[in-house]
Structure 1
Amino acid sequence: MGNPSPTSPDSREPQAISSSDVTTTAKPDEISPPYTPNVMRFLEGTGISIPIAENYSSEDFYSDLLCNHLKVGTVRRGHVTCFTTVKPTITNAFGGLHGGAVAAIAERVAIATARTVVGEDKDMFLGELAMSYLSSATTDAELIVEGSVVRSGRNLTVIEVGFKMKETGKLVYSSHATLYNTPIAKL
């Protein structure tokens, strides 16, 4: 252990750890100093300190971005099929479809699938979204995104969403969504 401090550990001032425009405040006991440079290099490598361009900070930009990549194939009761092509705008640093984009697409397809069995008189909200990233879909890969109702009842609907490579049929991402159905309040 180091030299005793004249003040108690709880009264120490938080230290600021900064990198470019990013500053994080943490108590000395919360960050292990030997690992801090490695973590900061990783975060900088992912672009955390790059400012967001003005046109990307508009309201619900992310949804607009995803909708430009998602095309509807078929819609049947309890089943929705969509198609997407992995473009650089929705890839991660390794050139694969970004995990956040996968989850956002899964959520959209799950809600659309649930709407095939849940009446318009009910409002829905996402209660759970579980993701399995089994493989990676790289830039320009074409994917088939299929949503299927697993169970639908009075108060909840469970949807399974699978992402398959169009060329091979290989399952690359899998999702399980639980949506809660509630009657729309009449005021």
Structure 2
Amino acid sequence: MSSSSSSPVSSKTTIVSKETDPNHVLSIAQFFKSLTLPDPSLDDYTSHDSFSVLLQGNIKALSVERGRISCSVVVTPSLANFYNGLHGGVVASIAERVSMACVKTVVSEDKPLFLGELSISYLSAAPVLSEVLVEGSVVRSGRNLSVVNVEFKMKETMKVTYLARATFYHSLISKL
């Protein structure tokens, strides 16, 4: 079935199986449309690196030690996905920032770092208005790389919601 004025699919190149219920296609099309609607509550976050500003107000450091960092994150509507849980991209961003901060507590400041790998397991959703404890710890740090584990737990129940593992490579500074 190709798109026509009565079709719920917006693209003329979209192909829909004849066995698919048109109501199901309509609900999927509406779902995708709702994801692309502008959200006026995010108008303050349209500048360069505005995601940092968006996260800053929601992350509070609890403790910083050599190789370990703990912080708290409140899941606000601006950090939520369509299903009112903490957005996966926000989880990834927090995991990257916490793991980078952990590495910086054990690696010399003159060594530039770059994120080589970031693996995340999404185990359970953290709902809007909940508080999540984020704990990062350096698992291994050597001459050329560092590995960090990051756990996200619901503050109220201590249930693990997300797990992340980041590998950072240490770039040597050229002596030219």
TM-score by length of 2: 0.81
Q: CA RMSD in A?
A: 2.6
1:16 shift after superposition: 10
* Correspondence for 2:38: 50
Q: 2:15 aligns with which of 32, 36, 40?
A: 32
Structure 1 pair 186–62 and aligned structure 2 pair: CA distance change class (3 A): farther
1:1-20 equivalences under 5 Å are none
Any stretches of 5+ residues in structure 2 without a counterpart? 5-9
Q: 1:159 aligns with which of 135, 143, 148?
A: 148
Any stretches of 5+ residues in structure 1 without a counterpart? 1-14, 18-22
Deviations 1:2-38 (A, max 9, x none): xxxxxxxxxxxxx999xxxxx97x9x5xx53448766
* Correspondence for 1:78: 67
Larger radius of gyration: 1
* Correspondence for 1:63: 52
Query: Does the residue aligned with 1:183 lie in a helix, a strand or coil?
Result: coil
Query: Does the residue aligned with 1:117 lie in a helix, a strand or coil?
Result: coil
* Correspondence for 1:6: none
1:95 shift after superposition: 1.1
Kindly tell me the number of residue pairs found equivalent between the two proteins.
163
TM-score by length of 1: 0.77
Amino acid at match of 2:104: R
Deviations 1:96-148 (A, max 9, x none): 11111111111100000011111101011111111111111111111110001
Query: Does the residue aligned with 1:73 lie in a helix, a strand or coil?
Result: strand
Separation in structure 2 between the aligned mates of residue 51 and residue 85 of structure 1, nearest angstrom:
20
> What percent of counterpart residues are identical?
45
Separation in structure 2 between the aligned mates of residue 129 and residue 32 of structure 1, nearest angstrom:
35
